Structure formats: structure tokens, C-alpha cells
A and B are shown apart, each in its own frame.
Chain A
Amino acid sequence: MAPQRHIGDVMLSLEHISLAFGGVKALTDIGFDVRDGEIRAIIGPNGAGKSSMLNIINGVYQPTEGRIVFEGREYRRMDPHRAASMGIARTFQNIALFKGMSVLDNIMTGRNLKMRSGLLAQALYVGPNRREELVHREKVEHIIDFLQIESVRKTPVGRLPYGVQKRVELARALAAEPRLLLLDEPMAGMNLEEKQDMCRFILDVNDEFGTTIVLIEHDMGVVMDISDRVVVLDYGRKIGDGPPDEVRSNQAVVDAYLGVAH
């Protein structure tokens, strides 16, 4: 079955991005773009600058040089709140969920930007807020169904195994109905079966909701299987960019991964 996915125009482009922390240059003159509806992977060895790249996209870091163009608008700097309201959501390399809250409540927090009523009205659960919360709850239930976590709906996140927590984090990011989803090592620390499940979910999200996905991953096999195009970073520089097959046969990439005699 060959899905006929629709990959559209450039949604996000990063131009001449550099990032330095004091004297340490984390990223040097990096440029690549992300097309609407595609799955774009960023790979590279440890310390290559992959997470920094995601942090620049959603405004946690400000690039020292370069610019970001998101949906035709140019930004010198992004900030996390603006990124979220423009439809960029993310997950983290180290799970950042509220451990004491239930799965359901954690995912509901992902709807926060979409809620209109104020803190007091939300606390009282009356009138229009009640209707609003029901609508949000329904959206959340669709996501719970989608990611097959019904059985842990009411379980505190802290009690769940790691692989399931990762899934809950993805659910929370999806709850914001993002147009662009940033996944920081969604499969780190998972066993083979959990990885396969997560791959399936990422492909399904992309397919069902048309969400554009940028993901960082160490596992080369996974990346090559699910992404449309791959950017390769090494020591803060871009050393490759293109479809998986092309990247795989790129000598610079092979050297970066396998090591080369200097």
C-alpha cells in the first residue's frame, strides 16, 4: 500500500543559522527547509547540535546569526509562547510531564492555549466553561484513542513505564493540534517493539492529521524508514541533506558516523 501523501510548499525555512554560547560555537551557518506535510529528520552524532536546532525553531534559544521564515513570515527571533500559538508543538528528550497528574490531565494541559475561559471559570466548571471543557475533553479522547492509551487514562504518569510516558508526551503535543510537531528523540531508550509502535504512531499522525514533523533520532534504521528527507549535522555544521538513500551513500555522513582516521 503506497499512501499518496501530499507534500506541499516550504513551511519553515532556516537560513544561515549560527548559535554560540560564549566562545562555544554550537551551530555554524546552517540552512535547511521543511515542507508542509513531510517528515523531516535531523540526525548526527552526540553533540552535533541537533537539540539546539529544535530549540531555535521553537524559540527556546535565539540564534546569534541567521533568520527563520515560518509560513512566509520572517523572524529574527522566535519565543516559545509565540511558537506554540503559531502551531508549533514539541516533545523533549527527557520526558517533561507532570508526574503526579493523570494521563488525561497531562494531555488536557496541551489544550491550554485553546481554552478561552479564565482561571476562575475553569476552576468553577460552570456555564460556557463547562461546554468548552467538554469539547476539549472530546478532542483529548480522540487523541487517547489514536495513541491507544485508554487503559491508563486515569493513571498518574509517574507510575507508567517509560515507553508509555513517551507516548503520553506525544499525546500532549498533539492536543495542541500543531501544524508543526518537533520530536526530540522520540524513541530513545525504547525496546524494539516500543520503537516499532512509536514509528507507527508518527507515521499515522503525519498521515491522519497531515501534521508536519521534524524529528531528531539516533537510530539510523528508524530515521531512514520513516522520514522523507534527512539533514545531517556534525560538530554544528551541516554535512548532508536529502532523501534517506542519498544521505546514506554520502561519504561525509558515513565518515561522521563510522569515524575516520584524521
Chain B
Amino acid sequence: MSASAAGAPPARPADTFPGLLLRHARERGNRTAIREKDLGIWLGWTWAQVADEVRAIACGLAARGFQRGSTLAVIGDNRPHLYWSMMAAQCLGGIPVPMYQDAIATEMRFVLDNAEIAFAVVEDQEQVDKLLEVLPDTPRLAHIVYSDPRGMRHYTQAQVLSFASLQEAGRAFDRDHPGFFDGEVAKGRPDDIAVMLYTSGTTGNPKGVCHSHASLMSAAAGDVAFDRFDDRDEVLSYLPMAWVGDHLFSYAQALVAGFCVNCPESSETVMTDLREIGPTYYFAPPRVFENLLTQVMIRMEDASAPKRAMFHRCMAVARRCGSKIMDGRAAEVPLGDRLKYALGDALVFGPLRNVLGMSRLRVAYTGGAAIGPDLFEFYRSIGINLKQLYGQTETSVYVCKQPDGQVKLETVGTPLPGVEIRIADNGEVQVKTPGMLKEYFRRPDATAESITPDGWFMTGDAGFLDADGHLKIIDRAKDVGRLADGTLFAPAYLENKLKFFPHIKEAVAFGHGRDRAVAFVNIDLGSVGNWAERRGIAYSGYTDLAQQDAVYALVQECIEQVNRDLAGDAQLGGSQISRFLVLHKELDADDGELTRTRKVRRGFIAERYATLVDALFDGRSHCEIDAEIKFEDGRTGRIRADLKIRDVKTVPVAPARKAA
């Protein structure tokens, strides 16, 4: 994209993020750039004000010795100050390293050490405490800047300082060194490293993915053009800042398009904030859409009978024709249905979109995991343009997106402009994209392992392009295994099918090299709890509920449904789940069972619960488990349970069976 500076001073072309910031400050200085809800009121900052704040932060950092190439840890919920700090680091030619705010201190130590971090900007006392805890092991860390002063009065450590004093020092430094800031911004080059995002890593230590300004900006510009975003769009930034998705949607795209980013009051108020802001563009992983739908359904079940009847009748119409109308194929829908849909829109869908905070939504995306058919269909049928995208940290999430009107449930869309895709011999998807990472930080070995000599990034996903050129992903290439008899076994495929049931929160399938497939299941406490309440089943908590016979029967029904579906698939039909158990505790990232992005770590779980896995395969009807759990405050405890194991009916694979 080309820069067209309207102001008098001939500025550098806006080919870096700081350049974009200054351009917006010139061109749309009075438009709101970012909002935050504080003390119940939405406060806004214009682009000009943001540029001013960033300047003060950058100068404050410089005054303390932040230089080109220095790294800056950014830890906390989505807050304007933290986004500004990332901009400030980039202005000085430094590299912001956003980190997961819910990581425990020891997990932070690795990144702090690996990225050689001397400067950290954090949200509050909680994060300061974590950093102080690892300080003895990370002697480089010399400056900890906090934004929320609550509880910070008695901290006397030399490393700790408030955001206000950093900015004050910055303004003084700026007065004493006029021209310093602009000079530093002007030194920035598009191929400088703009940000380092650590991948959560299902195995081994996290790796720092380095993106240049150029790669992130071209990915963001591609997205902006694809969905025609402009400076009137609004997003709610509520996903972890350390995650590439948030960095792209709330930072890179916002700076490229000049749209407004809204920071929620707290992580618990996101739903309310969403409704108040009414974003025009929204991204959420499937589980967020799922939680929303579960809440809607639970509240509908509690509604009065006439309302419930109206809801269900209208939803039946929406299921029949909503998606077609959404795809612009209204002509295929009979007039009667179109009228009924319009009535439904007035009575149910419109108000429902409003309650969900999606009235103004132009486009919504989901990705990162498979989305259930019912779920996907639900949102599209009530008039929300929900689409899927595909990409990873290393490709700036710029690989595939579903174009308007060509949305298919089981695929992730067509390659975006500038992206090339090929399928390797082992079924792995490989891509070339403008959003390609520059390198893994200080890991030339990992860089070489992920990028082929001819420049293709190896995604590690198994998939194929269908007849219309849409990409379909089945599983991680390395996870696709075979049962002892050679039947194809794609665990994530099975797990996803199970997780599509509202009662099942997580599932972990095992079977590679074994004679059959089995699964661990986590029930969804909200949904199953509600179900149990309706039937007068008493329970004292998760562990108790999970082991009730009625709950086992409920889960068994779900698995048998999956088995029936699988029976129709010639390739995967043989990997039906024959036995299962419901785990006594919810899988948790604090115990290392899930990644911070909530993907199951199958290998770790198999090791940790080896006795349970063995019991599933050796035919026992129950198995005892005694395992350590970690509480949120870092303490540990033990939990002991006797878990039931159940057999499930499998269905013979019906159609002409071909050797898989």
C-alpha cells in the first residue's frame, strides 16, 4: 500500500508500524483510535493523542537506556497502555514481546531469559509480583513498568516504576532531546523485526517467532483489502495480546486500516462490553461462539413456553433458509420462507443479534480449531456473516479465508491474494505467504526445520485442496496415525466430532498402534450441570457429577452418534471409539494438560494418565487414579478418584469397504 501524506512535512513513507501511527495522527488525528472502559465509562483516545502518548513512552524508555534491538516484555490484559508500549518499542527500533498474562512465573522465566529482556511493561501488581519472583534468575531484567497503581505503594525495588513516572521522564527527555524521537522513527526499516510472538509449543520450549514490519503489514493489508475494512470499523480486543490473532486484528490491521480498537473493562465483562460497543468486525475461536450459544440455549430453556415456541419455530425457518439468504442466494428460497424469515428477523434473529452484541457486525471470523456444524450454521442462519480462516503464528494467520458467498463448513476457504499452497507427499500442507516469519529467534535449527530450502513453510497440518480450490484440514500431520490393523486414525478429527456436542468440553482420543480407538472425555460443567438439575440429579461438584451413571449414559449416546457418522466414512470408519471414560477433573493449562490456547497436549496426557490409558485398552471396568493438581496460586494438591470405564457400540462400516 502506498502512503499519501497530507501534511506539509515530507515524512518517510509509512512502511513501518510507527510510520503508520504518525500518518494516522496526521490524516485522521481527531478520529478515535482506541477506547477503554474504566470506572464504568468508555474513554477514548484519538490518533493524535495516541501518537503523543507513544512518544512519551518511547522517550521514557530511551531515557532508561532502551536501544535499537532491545526487547520489551508486554504482559497483561488488553489495555491501551500496553498496545502503546508495543508501538513505543517499535518507534525506537526495539522488539515488543507480548506474553501470556495468565502464565505462571516459571513459564515466564524461559521467555524473559530467551529473549534477553531487560524492560517489561505490565498491567498490575499481579504481574509485577510474578516478575519479581523470577528476578533472581533473570538478572538482565532491570526495568518493570506497571500501569495500574493499585497495591503498588509499598514497592521499593529499584526496578519497579509507574507508567506515569515513565511518561513524565519521557516528556522531559523529549524536551531536552528535540528531534530524537522522529530521528529514531525515521531509522526504522520495513525488514526490521517488528514483534516476537512465542508459540505456545505443544512440545519442548516455546519458540520466538520473529515477524518483520513488512510481513505483518502485507498480511494485514491483504486482510484489509479482502474484507474491505476502513477507519470506520470497530473491533473489541479481548483475546490474549501474546496471541498472533490479537496482534494481527487489534494491532497490525488496526494500524493499517486506521480502525478503532476497544479494550474491555475486564475479562469477565467482555459480553457486556461487546453489547455496548457493537463491533463491526469480530474474531473468536470456536469455543467462544460455543459458549455464547450454550448461554443462549440455557436461557431459552428457562424462558416462558410461548417465547420458547416462537424461538424454536423461527429457528426452524432459519435452519431451512438462513444460510442461503446469507450467501446471497435468496432467489433459491421460496417466497413463503423469505417472508417467514423476515418475520423471524424482526421477532427473534434481530433481537438475538442485539443481545449477542452482533447487530452491527459486518464480518466475523473463527479459526484455530474446527467448528461444529450446528454451531456454524446457527450463527450464519441468524444473519451473522461468520466465516472461517486458516493460518498460524508463523504465517501471520494469512493463508486462507472464506470469501463472502463461498462458505463451506468443512473447509477453511481459498488461498488469500499472494498466497501459494502445495500439498507435500506425506499430506502436509505447505505455504508461501507474504506474512511469512523472518526466523525463529536464535533458533536457526528450528527455522531450517520449518522452512524448506525452496522457501515453503511447513504447517505441520495434514489436509488437501478440494475440487473448488478450498483447503480442508484433517489433523496435525504428525498426529495422524494408524490402528494396529492399518486403519487410518486421526485423533483430532474424532475429538472435534465429540467436542461438537454441548455436553462434551474436551476429548482425548488414543489408538495409534493399538487394536482399537478409545477416548477420555471432559464433560461441560455448565451444560451437563443444567441437564442434571432438570432431572433432579444431585451432585457436589465436577468430580462427583462426572462419575454419575446417568452422565456416562449421556456421553455414551454422544459417542455412539459419532460412531454412526464415522461408519459412513470409508477411510476413518474403522477408527470408531469402542471404550471411554469421563475424567475426574477438567483438563487445565496450569497442569500442563492444555496449551495456553486450550489445545489438548495428547502426549503429555497419555503419560500423565498412563494407568487410565492402559485400563481403557485392557478391558477393566474401572480404574483408580491419584494425581497431583496445581491451583491457580501455584500451590499443589492431590486428587484421587475411582473412574468407571464403559464400552460403546460400534457400527460396521456400511459402504463397500476399501482397504484403507
Chain B positions within 8 Å of A, measured between CB atoms, are 38-41, 150-151, 153-155, 265-266, 268-269, 272, 632-633
| Stretch binding the partner chain, chosen from A53-61, A139-147, A169-177, A212-220 | A139-147
- Given A142-B39, A144-B40, residue A151 in contact with residue B272 (CB < 8 A): yes
B267's nearest neighbour on chain A, judged by CB, is A151
Whether A1 pairs with B154 at a CB distance below 8 angstroms is yes
Contact A141–B269 (Cβ < 8 Å) = no
- The answer on a CB contact under 8 Å between B154 and A141 is no
User: Inside 8 A of A151's CB, which chain B residues have their CB?
Assistant: 266, 268-269, 272
Which residues in B have their C-beta under 8 angstroms from that of A2?
Answer: 154
- A145 B39 Cβ-Cβ under 8 A: yes
B39–A141 touching, CB < 8 Å: yes
Q: How large is the interface on A (under 10, 10 to 19, 20 to 34, 35 or more residues)?
A: 20 to 34
| Distance in Å: Cβ of A158 to nearest Cβ of chain B | 15
Q: Are A150 and B154 in contact (CB under 8 A)?
A: no
Q: Are A141 and B266 in contact (CB under 8 A)?
A: no
Q: Is B154 in contact with A4, judged by CB distance below 8 angstroms?
A: yes
Are B154 and A3 in contact, CB atoms less than 8 angstroms apart?
yes
Residues of A within 8 A of B39 (CB): 138, 141-142, 144-145
Assess whether B154 is in contact with A208, with CB atoms less than 8 Å apart: no
The residue from B38, B40, B153 contacting A153, defined by CB atoms under 8 A apart: B40
A105 CB → nearest B CB, Å: 13
**A interface: dominant SS:** helix
- Do A150 and B268 have beta carbons less than 8 Å apart? yes
Q: Name the CB-closest residue of B to A152.
A: B268
A250 on the interface (CB 8 Å rule)? no
CB proximity of B30 to chain A, nearest CB, Å: 26
Nearest neighbor of B264 in chain A, beta-carbon distance: A150
17 A-B contact pairs sorted by A residue (CB < 8 Å): A1-B154, A137-B40, A141-B40, A141-B41, A142-B39, A144-B40, A145-B38, A146-B150, A150-B40, A150-B269, A151-B269, A153-B40, A154-B272, A207-B151, A207-B153, A208-B151, A208-B153
| CB-CB contacts below 8 Å: A1-45 with B | 1-4
Query: What is the CA–CA distance of A137 and B41 in the complex, to the nearest angstrom?
Result: 11
Contact between A196 and B40, CB atoms less than 8 A apart: no
**What chain B residues lie within 8 Å of A153 (beta carbons)?**
40
Q: CA–CA, A138 to B41, complex, Å?
A: 10
What's the dominant secondary structure at chain B's contact region? Answer: loop
Closest CB in chain A relative to B271 CB, distance in Å: 8
Check if A204 sits within 8 Å of B40, measured CB to CB: no
| Min CB gap B134→A, angstroms | 16
Q: Tell me the minimal C-beta distance from B377 to chain A in angstroms.
A: 30
CA distance A217 to B38 in the complex (A): 34
Task: Decide yes or no whether A148 CB sits under 8 A from chain B.
Answer: yes
Question: With the chains together, A146 CA to B633 CA distance in Å?
Answer: 20
Closest Cβ neighbor of A2 among chain B residues: B154
Q: Is the CB of A150 within 8 A of B265?
A: yes
Encoded as 1 (CB less than 8 Å from any B CB) or 0, chain A from 249 to 261 comes to 0000000000000
Q: Which residue of A lies closest to B272 (CB)?
A: A151
Contact A148 B266 (CB under 8 A): yes
Q: List, in ascending order, chain B residues with CB within 8 A of A196's CB.
A: 633
Residues of B within 8 Å of A208, CB to CB, are: 150-151, 153
Nearest-Cβ distance from residue A172 to partner chain B, whole angstroms: 17
Q: Are B155 and A1 in contact (CB under 8 A)?
A: yes
Name which residue of chain B comes closest to A104, CB basis: B40
Q: Is the CB of A204 within 8 A of B268?
A: no
Q: Shortest Cβ distance from A156 into chain B, in angstroms?
A: 15
Closest to A141 in B: B39
User: Which has the most chain B C-beta neighbours within 10 Å: A1, A146, A208?
Assistant: A1
Cα A239 to Cα B266 in complex, Å, equals 46
Min CB–CB distance A28 → chain B (angstroms): 41
Q: Which residues of B contact A137 (CB under 8 A)?
A: 40
B571 → chain A, closest Cβ, in Å? 46
8 A Cβ contacts from A112-166 to B? 137-138, 141-142, 144-146, 148, 150-151, 153-154
Nearest chain-B residue to A154 (Cβ)?
B272
Contacts of A154 on B, CB cut-off 8 Å?
272
Which residues of A, 59-95, contact B by the 8 Å Cβ criterion? none
A3-B154, A150-B40 known; 12 new pairs, CB 8 Å cut-off, are: A1-B154, A141-B39, A141-B40, A142-B39, A145-B38, A145-B39, A146-B150, A150-B268, A153-B40, A193-B632, A204-B151, A207-B154
Q: Which of B151, B153, B633 is most buried by chain A, counting CB atoms within 10 A of its CB?
A: B151
CA distance A138 to B632 in the complex (A): 32
